[in-house]
Amino acid sequence: MKLPASQSLAIRPMQPTDLDQIVAIDIKVLGQPRPEYWEMKLELVAKRSQMAALVAELEGQVKGFIIGGASRWEYGMPENIGWIDTIGVDPDFQRKGVARQLFEHMTAELKGMGVESLHTFVKRRDWRLLKFFHNMGLKEGDMVNLELDL
Ligand SMILES: CC(C)(COP(=O)(O)OP(=O)(O)OC[C@H]1O[C@@H](n2cnc3c(N)ncnc32)[C@H](O)[C@@H]1OP(=O)(O)O)[C@@H](O)C(=O)NCCC(=O)NCCS
């Protein structure tokens, strides 16, 4: 169900002061905290270097976030590529188009930085994220994910 017209969602740049609300959503979504990750990300966000880091706010409360970044020559790919780093929407506000709006704003920002293609990693069994990205137009790419336990 979409948000009622009376509740308008604001998409705005992520601020260091959003940390607590973002971490609270992250715990609800992932089931565990990742404080080092967010500390590192918010430091980068503060520098605003080639990143699109946004939050979705409803009546003054953060309900979702997205971080994307622009880079060149990652993994030998010559074109200007963008990475979708993380995304999360408060489970109480999912299926209302919040992630779609975050995604569209992030994409527009990355395009403005010269990004020509978007890439991300999703766990094979994470059908919810897969369905979301599929709906946003992402398709299986040409890269193979390799791993080694050390
Ligand atoms: C994936 C996620 C971001 C979607 O957020 P959302 O705000 O609910 O998504 P939207 O409402 O904008 O959905 C857009 C489209 O994506 C698809 N979609 C999203 N959630 C879906 C679900 N649970 N089941 C099926 N399709 C889904 C639908 O096609 C939807 O369009 P529709 O509602 O018109 O059918 C959210 O479920 C989430 O935060 N999941 C956890 C993400 C995570 O693990 N992050 C950490 C690692 S990156």
Cα-to-centroid distance, 52 and ligand 1 (Å): 19
* Number of domains into which the chain is organized: 1
Question: Would you say residue 145 lies in a domain?
Answer: no
Pick the residue with more confidence: 102 or 5?
102
pLDDT value of position 148:
97
Specify whether the CB–CB gap between 26 and 32 falls below 8 A. Answer: no
CATH number at residue 77: 3.40.630.30
For 51, the token pair is 């990143």
- Check whether 5 has a pLDDT greater than 70: no
User: Which residue range(s) make up the domain with 107?
Assistant: 9-135
Question: Half-sphere exposure (CA, 13 Å, Cβ side) for 80?
Answer: 10
Residues 93 and 135: their CA atoms lie apart, in Å, by 18
Question: Would you say residue 3 lies in a domain?
Answer: no
Question: Would you say residue 78 lies in a domain?
Answer: yes
For 81-125, the pLDDT digits (tens) are 999 999 999 999 999 999 999 999 999 999 999 999 999 999 999
80 lines ligand 1 (CB under 6 A): no
Mean pLDDT across the chain, nearest whole number? 91
Cα-to-centroid distance, 130 and ligand 1 (Å): 9
Question: Would you say residue 22 lies in a domain?
Answer: yes
Q: pTM for the whole thing?
A: 0.93
Question: Would you say residue 149 lies in a domain?
Answer: no
For 70-83, the pLDDT digits (tens) are 986 667 766 689 99
